[in-house]
Amino acid sequence: MRKKKGFRVWILLVAVFVCFVAMWPLYELLNLSVRDISDYSSRLAFPEVIKLSNFKDAFMNKQVWIGFKNSFIYASLTILLEVVIGSMAGYGLSRGSKRTTKSIKSVQMLIMMVPGVVTLVGTYALMTKLGLTNSLFALALLTAAGGIPSCSFIYMNFINSIPVALDEAARIDGANVTNTFFRIILPQLTPITITRSIMIAIGAWNNYLMPLYLINNANKQPIILVIRSAFAMVGGDRNLAMACATCTIGILPVIVVYCILQKRIIASQIGSSIKG
């Protein structure tokens, strides 16, 4: 009994330590964002004078709201593209090809090895020529292309577990393949689609490299670029606290979504690593 108690203390200590390490950067972000520009005292302790007006100023910044709107559009478009194309491909692969999943996995692995910067460098000149820079749709296309291979693969695995008998029953009822997919199969995919969408949305929200070079019109900037210009410190007024406040507001939606859906996200991550 005593031994068990000691055991528990050990667990508690590790748990607290691990959580502390994970939360520390966020604490620091908050700490830095409530300071006055003239406050460069210890960054470890919470500032003595708390300046909440930084948040108010950041909230009033029109650019932040434009950023939210664009990030939202960008994330939605990416989800639409990736989920629709990915689930269709997953269905086609699962039902149509009798090839081993192994070769498909190899192709997927190869595609995963293409770094985003190669995609960017290889398509950038063409995109400027076609006037596709500053287009959230083009950005979503590029982002989705990176996710589609693994997305199709996950869907394929999932559809493999749906009995083919279901398709055949539908066909006997007179449904064609397209109808079977959209009416019968797609609804079955709902749970995986939801978690997949969340992950895609968060990925898009955080994507930095592609928007940085593809989006330069301020009215098309996703939130990450608004945060970036807050940190860029060009010009007369360089205010770290304001940059941190903008940043805090910028990541707030992600944190809120995560807090609400964390169980689902974690479960899906565990699930997908079993499948993969």
Nearer to another protein, 88 or 162 (CB): 88
Nearer to another protein, 34 or 144 (CB): 144
| Cβ-based burial of 141 (10 A; exposed 0-12, middle 13-18, buried ≥19) | middle
CA–CA separation, 246 vs 160, rounded Å? 45
CB of 38 to another protein, least distance (A): 5
CB of 225 to another protein, least distance (A): 8
CB of 76 to another protein, least distance (A): 4
CB of 56 to another protein, least distance (A): 14
Nearer to another protein, 37 or 52 (CB): 37
Nearer to another protein, 52 or 156 (CB): 156
Nearer to another protein, 52 or 267 (CB): 267
**HEC states along the chain?**
CHHHHHHHHHHHHHHHHHHHHHHHHHHHHHHHHCCCCCCCCCCCCCCCCCCCHHHHHHHHCHHHHHHHHHHHHHHHHHHHHHHHHHHHHHHHHHHHCCCCHHHHHHHHHHHHCCCHHHHHHHHHHHHHHCCCCCCHHHHHHHHHHHHHHHHHHHHHHHHHCCCHHHHHHHHHCCCCHHHHHHHHHHHHCHHHHHHHHHHHHHHHHHCCHHHHHHCCCHHHCCHHHHHHHHHHCCCCCCCHHHHHHHHHHHHHHHHHHHHHHHHHHHHHHHHHHHHC
Nearer to another protein, 161 or 190 (CB): 190
CA–CA separation, 195 vs 269, rounded Å? 9
CB of 52 to another protein, least distance (A): 19
Nearer to another protein, 40 or 59 (CB): 40
Nearer to another protein, 52 or 106 (CB): 106
CB of 28 to another protein, least distance (A): 6
CB of 124 to another protein, least distance (A): 7
Phi, psi of 200, deg, nearest 5: -65, -45
Neighbouring CB atoms inside 10 A of 226's CB total 24
CB of 110 to another protein, least distance (A): 7
